[in-house]
Structure 1
Amino acid sequence: MQSFFRKAYTSLSAAPAASKTNLLKNMTMGRALNQSKMMIQSQNLMNSAITRRAFSIIDTKIMRNIGISAHIDSGKTTITERILFYTGKIDEIHEVKGSDNVGATMDSMELEREKGITIKSAATHCEWKDHHINIIDTPGHVDFTIEVERALRVLDGAILLICGASGVQPQTLTVDKQMKRYSVPRVIFINKLDRMGADPWNCIENVRERLGLNCAAVQVNIGVENGLQGICDLVKMKALYFEGEKGRDVVEREIPDDLKEFCDKKKQELITILAENDPTIEEYYLNEDFNIPIDVLKKSIREQTIAQKFCPVMMGSAYKNKGVQPLLDGVLDYLPNPEESNNYAYDIQDKTKKVKMDIDNKKPFVGLAFKLEESQFGQITYVRIYQGKVKKGSTLNNTATKKKVKISRMVRMHSNNMEDISEAGAGDIFAIFGVDCASGETFCDQSVNFTMEDMHVPEPVMSLTIRPKKQDQLEIFLKALNRFQREDPTFVVKQNQESEEIIISGMGELHLFIYCERMKREYDIDLAVGNPTVNYRETISQKAQFNFLHKKQSGGAGQFARVIGYIEPLNSDMDSQDADLSCQFVDGTEGQNIPNEYIPAVEKAFHESTKKGPQTGYPVVGVKYVLTDGQTHVVDSSSLAFAIATRYSFKEAYEKAGPQILEPVMNVEVTVPAEFQASIMGQLVRRRGSITNTQTKTGYFILNADVPLAAMFGYATELRGCTQGQGEFSMEYKMHSPVGEFEIKDIIDAYQRKRAEKGEDI
């Protein structure tokens, strides 16, 4: 309204005297009309949101908590932008790396808009057909996989995007594994059907074969590539076209004649798959009656999707504004509300006891802090409520730190913007300010003491040395490192005790580069960064016995301890994605040859010995230490003596147990124009790659290979050079695997040189 009066005053001042009377009259009428429109819009807004936003508590039956996940560059942020536009949350569509220099709404970081990738997950919320939808847009790049991990940990459902041209890609496999880990039902959306080589039916076969999902199309595309016009809904058996501004108007028509037979065939396929798990649909199928009522068909799809026995497949092109509104309908029709998801907590007093969380506002509050961010207002903590409700001003317990926290400010997030709320109820996602906590901690009402199930945090695979060039920036540098560690569990900071170098570790080159760049931009720190190093590991390949006596007498109380037992590998095959990289201690003693009070000292000393392997200085993994017997002295035995004996016994047995060095192996996918096929295969073979799959799609060659991470440094530059800038690749951690015999000597020699430079005994 203020802008209206400013414009009116400017017009009136500039008008000729004779025109001022008429202009003023028109302005008065216009003002009244404008006020009337604003009142109507305001009233409509209040009617639709009064029970949800003004009072904050949202009915869980009309709530959906969803995430959008996929391989990098599959269109996650683009589809989120369309969802926000069609639900009225934003007024304009902006593209990732947009030409208007604005960028997509959910990419709020400057780095995200520059690079056209999502770096951190972002939360928003919107309204669609009287339902409230909380959305988390997640990164696609494997280096930021923890963002996907913790989003899926707290969500009730998800949209899995598949590129219509590329099909199932490496990160799609990772996302699928994460969804299965947290039992998250999903709908599948085959995006980018406007791209050259797009084939939704090949994608569906890909999903069945590579992901092992029971899925079927609930839509059929009308046209493909440049000829994509709309979709056919197999549940309603209607064609949908997207017209008007940015495809906002969904127009329902009869299915085109040339597609009727194909749609009938695909609907029969859908019913056949549903009939496998639904007696009601099976009855229709056995009677060869495929005219199933819409509500019966939707109910079957919904029940099987929530039970994770089936995945409905939808399709379209977010960039071309086709298929997004039906996808939103699918979220409401097929994905669960919070009441339909099963979530469990552990009782702090007895962590073997699982307690089912009830989506009930009357129950004691239980919420999980699943993500942290620093803002100009302080730390923002994202919380998912699993039980009960919380009001502004409430006091809660942090069950990890045993501290009480007061909730002084509550907000709903919309990317980097926020809306203040006064309370939130069961099943909801919101954010709080001014609470000191770490990611993964549980908040409870003071009447209960629960902790939610932990999320999976992958181990870092790459490290860099880092320091500020100016000594006076050390304090702010350490502050930045501390902040990033709290935000991201996969970003690990350690200090080398001998050299006092600070080492940062993460999930890959891009992951560490982004944090270095953020320190420069957000804290104005000039950094000196060392070369990337690979996080090797050591292990053993065979069983070895030990019988070590530690005996020392130098006047006064002496030291005496004998430990007997063996070490053996935990894994029969280290070349496996399921290989156990932990170390285990087993107390196999009988009788009292070693008193019980010394056993903890033995266990602790063993685990300390595995922190730094004798060959490379990297941790030892996959080893079981079994203590079977020992010997003590009445006077000279002590916990210290047994700790020393354990360290020496491990070293002695380790040398006889066939020590091996393990290196991280990456699953690499390269996509290049077909004419560069031979050179690409040669490149990866030279880099010690093992090719696992190849395919050709409409002028493009796609290659999958397992390649050691150490051999992948500098590959981006080489790939661009030999493909005239047209090649692209992605990689994700697959497993640790034994290093080849030709590389072992180089790794050990490098470690020995490093020790010699520090003046250590070799």
Structure 2
Amino acid sequence: MSDNTLTTTDTKSAARVTAEAARRRTFAVISHPDAGKSTLTEALALHARVITEAGAIHGKAGRRSTVSDWMEMEKARGISITSTALQFPYRDCVINLLDTPGHADFSEDTYRVLTAVDAAVMLIDAAKGLEPQTLKLFQVCKHRGIPIITVINKWDRPGRHALELMDEIHERIGLRTTPLTWPVGIAGDFKGVMDRRKGHYIRFTRTAGGATAAPEEHIPADAAADAAGTDWETAVEESELLSMDGSDFDPDTFRTGESSPVLFTSAALNFGVNQLLDVLVELAPSPGPIVDVNGVPRPVESPFSAFVFKVQAGMDSSHRDRIAYARVCSGTFERGDVLTHAGTGKPFVTKYAQSVFGQQRSTLDDAWPGDVIGLANAAVLRPGDTLYRDVPVVYPPIPSFSPEYFSVARGTDPSKHKQFRKGIEQLDQEGVVQVLRSDRRGEQAPVFAAVGPMQFEVAQHRMATEIGSPIALESLPYQVARIVDPEDAEFMNKQVSAEVLTRSDGVMLVLFSTPWRLQGFQRDNPDIKLRSLVAAAEG
């Protein structure tokens, strides 16, 4: 009998776990910046009736920020720079929604989130179509086998033709689009949508500022022409063209990632949001077995296990604690459980488990596969760590992106030496930046390595406001990093325009000034083996 086999006495509890897992829908919203991702997140929570009024996110005086954008820098800039978990009930299901940063500089944070979800909502601006960051994130989803629901947003504004957008998605990323709703009215004149499966017309009514849920009227097909005129007739004709082209929804190709159901929305006006929630409940996969580091699937009814995909501090200015976000993979979680940290073998007590809704936190008593739990005071946890009870398991580590920007960090207040050291360690543990060190530079001059320069801004802001140890950053003239074996490190340090530093996990990296300098070195020194860092986009 294998370790994961349940005894007869466990049958009843296993059935409960399976039933609870079947109710979960855990997904991420991904997009290019400014596609309306945080606005959509807010609209979903509004339509699920867990908030009463949606907020604007543009950072203007007197305007409310969304529940998912709570950091001061997010409010000021009007963009998401950190991922956020929101859990709420809808119909008979429990929604675990993970909002992600849209900006490319925070791709690493988004990738961590994508390791913890069962589906993704790909949000596309109706005027701009597919954009670079959207393409990159699609490739990550494709590699991980994550089914994608496509949402064409901002249909209330002038934009491209709906059929043109469908063609672009198919041609550029090879994903067959199978629209479930179709717009009635061109982009900029959004009256409602045709429900292509039921054939009726869903007419939306605007509310003041889009702050409350938009009323809907469901009109039978035989009365839709009188209600919408030629716009309905155009929608019917285009829907028929889609059917002739084989673009009707197919559950099998959706699950395998070959096709994507499409919906049309205006998140700012709360148009089409109910339809998206219903599609998530009806079509998105529920949690299933997660494959461990040895390639063995762990069934959801196995003893409890979870993996940490994010560590976040600064959520509450009155408490200096850190929250580790963990995705429940199997079994039942109960607050107070003593778990095992797979990396160290040491016990981890979950007395301070919490349910997280944006910045808001509340005590969590239990959780099931697919849920995201917040573990407070989690100083020993890092992204990629596994926790388990009873039956050991280790889930695959979360790969790091290859950094392209490097800066030396120095404290500007000598009296804050202790805070400086703790703050650098905290940023490293959370994955805000990668921290590199060398004997030559010393402990007081660690090197920050990042995918994008905005990560430096976040690190600098947090060191000053949360840690109380302001830092100055000095840019370094490096653009590319490779892993180098320790025995070759001394030789590499003698090279022109190169420097060897050690990451906090012990991996030694050599930094080169340009990709051409790297190519020249490899050509002249074929016996020195340099390895690429694992990048999420590579799969």
TM-score range, shorter chain: 0.7 to 0.9
Query: Of 164, 168, 176, which aligns to 1:206?
Result: 168
Opposite residue 372 of structure 1, the aligned amino acid is V
Query: Of 305, 310, 323, which aligns to 2:259?
Result: 310
Query: Equivalents in 2 of 1:414, 1:58: separation in Å?
Result: 24
Aligned to 1:617: 498
The answer as to whether partners of 2:463 and 2:469 remain within 8 angstroms in 1 is yes
Asked if 1:414 corresponds to 2:353, the answer is no
- Following superposition, the deviation at residue 456 of structure 1 comes to 2.8
Q: Evaluate the alpha carbon distance shift between residue 532 and residue 262 of structure 1 in structure 2; reply closer, same or farther with a 3 A threshold.
A: farther
Kindly provide the CA deviation profile for residues 628-674 of structure 1, in whole angstroms up to 9, marking residues without a partner as x.
xxxxxxxxxxxxxxxxxxxxxxxxx97844899x9x9xxxxxxxxxx
Give runs of ≥4 in structure 1 deviating > 6 Å. 55-58, 732-735
Q: Secondary structure at the match of 2:429?
A: helix
- Following superposition, the deviation at residue 274 of structure 1 comes to 5.6
- The 5-angstrom pairing of residues 377-396 of structure 1 reads 378-396=321-339
Kindly provide the CA deviation profile for residues 144-201 of structure 1, in whole angstroms up to 9, marking residues without a partner as x.
1112111110101110001111111110111101111221111000111223334332
Q: State the Cα RMSD in Å.
A: 3.0
- The 5-angstrom pairing of residues 599-614 of structure 1 reads 605-606=487-488, 608=489, 612=493, 614=495
Kindly provide the CA deviation profile for residues 341-395 of structure 1, in whole angstroms up to 9, marking residues without a partner as x.
x52013xxxxxx42212122xx211111111112516221111111111212211
Query: Equivalents in 1 of 2:328, 2:537: separation in Å?
Result: 33
Q: Evaluate the alpha carbon distance shift between residue 655 and residue 417 of structure 1 in structure 2; reply closer, same or farther with a 3 A threshold.
A: closer
Q: Evaluate the alpha carbon distance shift between residue 197 and residue 269 of structure 1 in structure 2; reply closer, same or farther with a 3 A threshold.
A: closer
The answer as to whether partners of 1:58 and 1:425 remain within 8 angstroms in 2 is no
Query: Equivalents in 1 of 2:253, 2:537: separation in Å?
Result: 31
Opposite residue 617 of structure 1, the aligned amino acid is A
Aligned to 1:344: 291
Structure number with larger C-alpha Rg: 1
Normalising by structure 1, report the TM-score: 0.59
Query: Of 232, 250, 265, which aligns to 2:216?
Result: 250
Opposite residue 368 of structure 1, the aligned amino acid is F
Opposite residue 96 of structure 1, the aligned amino acid is I
Asked if 1:355 corresponds to 2:296, the answer is yes
Aligned to 2:417: 474
Query: Equivalents in 2 of 1:733, 1:304: separation in Å?
Result: 24
- Following superposition, the deviation at residue 98 of structure 1 comes to 4.9
- Following superposition, the deviation at residue 324 of structure 1 comes to 1.0
Query: Of 73, 76, 88, which aligns to 2:37?
Result: 76
Aligned to 1:510: 454
Query: Equivalents in 2 of 1:57, 1:88: separation in Å?
Result: 27
The answer as to whether partners of 1:371 and 1:381 remain within 8 angstroms in 2 is yes
Q: Secondary structure at the match of 1:317?
A: coil
The answer as to whether partners of 2:26 and 2:96 remain within 8 angstroms in 1 is yes
Aligned to 2:304: 365
Q: Secondary structure at the match of 1:210?
A: helix
Query: Equivalents in 2 of 1:450, 1:56: separation in Å?
Result: 18
- The 5-angstrom pairing of residues 160-179 of structure 1 reads 160-179=122-141
- The 5-angstrom pairing of residues 430-509 of structure 1 reads 430-435=373-378, 436-446=380-390, 448-488=391-431, 491-500=433-442, 501-509=445-453
Q: Secondary structure at the match of 1:136?
A: strand
The answer as to whether partners of 2:153 and 2:266 remain within 8 angstroms in 1 is yes
The answer as to whether partners of 1:274 and 1:301 remain within 8 angstroms in 2 is no
Opposite residue 177 of structure 2, the aligned amino acid is C
Where is the helix percentage greater, Structure 1 or Structure 2? 1
Asked if 1:332 corresponds to 2:262, the answer is no
Query: Of 96, 104, 115, which aligns to 2:77?
Result: 115
Query: Of 471, 494, 509, which aligns to 1:527?
Result: 471
Query: Equivalents in 2 of 1:190, 1:654: separation in Å?
Result: 45
Aligned to 2:507: none
- Following superposition, the deviation at residue 426 of structure 1 comes to 2.5
Query: Equivalents in 2 of 1:146, 1:656: separation in Å?
Result: 33
Query: Equivalents in 2 of 1:301, 1:218: separation in Å?
Result: 11
Query: Equivalents in 1 of 2:206, 2:168: separation in Å?
Result: 34
- Following superposition, the deviation at residue 270 of structure 1 comes to 4.7
Opposite residue 427 of structure 1, the aligned amino acid is G
Query: Of 306, 311, 321, which aligns to 2:270?
Result: 321
Opposite residue 384 of structure 1, the aligned amino acid is R
- Following superposition, the deviation at residue 320 of structure 1 comes to 2.2
Q: Give structure 2 stretches of 5+ with no counterpart.
A: 1-15, 502-520
The answer as to whether partners of 2:59 and 2:76 remain within 8 angstroms in 1 is no
Aligned to 1:151: 113
Which structure exhibits the higher relative contact order, with contacts defined as CA atoms closer than 8 Å and separated by 6 or more residues? 2
Mean alpha-carbon deviation: is it higher for 435-444 or for 262-271? 262-271
Query: Equivalents in 2 of 1:86, 1:502: separation in Å?
Result: 47
Query: Equivalents in 2 of 1:654, 1:441: separation in Å?
Result: 35
Opposite residue 316 of structure 1, the aligned amino acid is T
